[in-house]
Amino acid sequence: MILLDALDEVEKNKRDKLHRKIVNYFETKNPNNKICITSRSRGFIQQNDHIVYEILPLNRDQIECYVNNIIELGKFEKNDKNIFLNQANELIMKNFLNSFLILSLLVNIFKAERELPETKLDLYQKCFEIITYKREKEKSKHKYDWNLISYLMKDNTFIELAQMGYPNNKDIEKNDIINSFCNIYSRKYSSEVETERAIEQFLDFCSERTELFVPASGEDKFRFFHRSFFEYFYSQYIFLRLNKIEEMYSAMKQFDIDSEVFELILSTLKQKDEYKYQELIDYLFVQAKNEIQNDNIDGISAFDILTLGMEVIDDIEFKNEYVNYIVENKEFFKNNKKERFLDDKILKVILQDDEYINNVNEVYKKDAKFESFLSFLKCFDEIIIHRDDKESIRYNELDRQYTLRVLYRESFYVRTYLSVEKKFNNIPIDREKFESSIMVYKELKINKYRYMRSFNLYDKLSSEQKEMICDRLSKLIYRYVEHEKQFLYIQ
């Protein structure tokens, strides 16, 4: 198998082209090759006819297995295992501890601090302290002159590197780093030669002793080891160097939905400048309303930034305003479907409060009911087997398709509706009304004949067959709702 890692670290405007090029090359040259392309879910561009696997968040059993393994390797104290797991369990419930990268960072932090961070912002701050200083200074004092490099071991240095690595953690030339740091830090040292020696040692130290800033694939080039570190320090650049809200918003607009920058900026402001935090959110709501009124969305929308920031925004007034915006702009959301990653975020906010659920469902229910039936028909069309002038139903495949396409990929308002109904509704509607209903939806007109074919096939089923389908799908919906309860989506 050929494994190509981190598609999301390619610039957004080049990602789709590269993805298609890779797929087309291997399909043409050797269609028997097995290829796996990995990406953050939020940066993934799905293509038809290719199998997509989504890695689920870590659970307690997987975390315990990981801890057991590092205990066997002598890298974790056995007596600390239960203390770590109890603290980690709270982070699992918050959907924060969701990957092995985060887990490995948390293990290092726990070993140094005996306590785990509660937010992403705290996580990156602790990682920086431990990786670059606390963990390594004693171990490496004989190899590196800490009197020289200690001036460089601070946030400002990595904020400068993040600015140089913009956008998307690009490779940085070594000479550019030296020139920039000589300008910034020359007053710390007795001569230009000593300044350059300090920078050289700093780069060597980062390369050999940290998982933070490392050599890139090109000669004499460097980059952040992981895009998450780059985004953390770039968010600090925006917070510290840009004073006006308009400037901060403009800088945020340069990123796309696959970035953690929005959440990190809001988290930093919330912790260190409450006034500016509220001012920025107010500004985002104003921009979101203007975008709809003027029908002018360029790049990532202000509403998308708000959505990505809702992990941080817990203010009742702002959450109310967010849900009211969704309720008041039904036609916009119907005609401008969001990517699944964003829909999940929107759904999570709505399902936190019964009043939010009722308000959204009251406005969207009719459309949600019809669209959920359309999604069922799409699944149904693919699971019918034509044999000897008869149609038979592959029920297991119907279960699979419905789960993937409807329960986990439908719009936030369809899934809000299903969370209330908790069952599959067979819409009693005649052919003529169904066809006229399709014509209301612009995007459905193109596939009108496919939907009509599926509808006719479904309409021909016996009442017993329809009842069986209804019963099976209702059980799936109920299990889905119970699963979401487990992950704190539905209270």
The full set of domain ranges for the chain reads 2-43, 60-118, 139-230, 242-350, 354-486
Residues forming beta bridges with residue 223, ordered by sequence position = 214
Greater confidence (209 vs 332) lies with: 332
Please determine, for residue 491, whether its predicted confidence score (pLDDT) is greater than 60.
no
| φ, ψ (nearest 5 deg) of residue 224 | -70, 140
Average pLDDT for residues 176-203, to the nearest whole number? 96
Average pLDDT for residues 316-340, to the nearest whole number? 93
% helix / strand / coil in the chain, to the nearest 5? Answer: 65, 5, 30
247: left (phi over 0), alpha (psi -120 to 50) or beta: alpha
Q: What is the pLDDT of residue 87?
A: 86
Side-chain half-sphere exposure of 102, counting CA atoms within 13 A: 20
154 alpha-carbon distance from chain centroid: 28
Strand 35-37 relative to strand 2-4, pairing: parallel
Please determine, for residue 488, whether its predicted confidence score (pLDDT) is greater than 50.
no
Q: Are 360 and 326 in contact (CB under 8 A)?
A: yes
Poorest-confidence range of 184-193, 385-394, 428-437? 385-394
248 alpha-carbon distance from chain centroid: 21
Greater confidence (442 vs 256) lies with: 256
Q: What is the pLDDT of residue 388?
A: 46
Poorest-confidence range of 135-139, 145-149, 223-227, 484-488? 484-488
Q: Which percentage of the chain shows pLDDT scores above 70? A: 89
pLDDT in tens, 434-468: 777 777 766 566 677 788 888 888 888 888 888 88
Global confidence as pTM:
0.80
Question: pLDDT-derived band of residue 415, with 50, 70 and 90 as boundaries?
Answer: very high
Q: What is the pLDDT of residue 45?
A: 60
Average pLDDT for residues 98-116, to the nearest whole number? 83
Poorest-confidence range of 45-59, 65-79, 393-407? 45-59
Q: Per-residue DSSP letters for 431-466?
A: HHHHHHHHTTSHHHHTTHHHHHHHHHHHHTS-HHHH
Question: pLDDT-derived band of residue 177, with 50, 70 and 90 as boundaries?
Answer: very high
Q: What is the pLDDT of residue 299?
A: 78
Mean pLDDT of the chain: 85
The tokens describing 345, both together, are 């975020």
Side-chain half-sphere exposure of 109, counting CA atoms within 13 A: 22
Q: What is the pLDDT of residue 97?
A: 77
Poorest-confidence range of 166-170, 249-253, 301-305, 337-341? 337-341
Q: Find which of 91-95, 113-117, 125-129, 363-367 is predicted with most confidence, using mean pLDDT.
A: 363-367
Poorest-confidence range of 241-245, 272-276, 475-479? 475-479
Question: pLDDT-derived band of residue 54, with 50, 70 and 90 as boundaries?
Answer: confident
Please determine, for residue 390, whether its predicted confidence score (pLDDT) is greater than 60.
no
Q: What is the pLDDT of residue 487?
A: 47
DSSP state of 386: E
Average pLDDT for residues 154-164, to the nearest whole number? 96
- Cα(411)–Cα(371) distance, integer angstroms: 9
Question: pLDDT-derived band of residue 57, with 50, 70 and 90 as boundaries?
Answer: confident
Q: What is the pLDDT of residue 165?
A: 94
Side-chain half-sphere exposure of 257, counting CA atoms within 13 A: 22
Please determine, for residue 29, whether its predicted confidence score (pLDDT) is greater than 60.
yes
Please determine, for residue 93, whether its predicted confidence score (pLDDT) is greater than 90.
no
Please determine, for residue 385, whether its predicted confidence score (pLDDT) is greater than 70.
no
Q: Cβ atoms within 10 A of the Cβ of 479, count?
A: 13
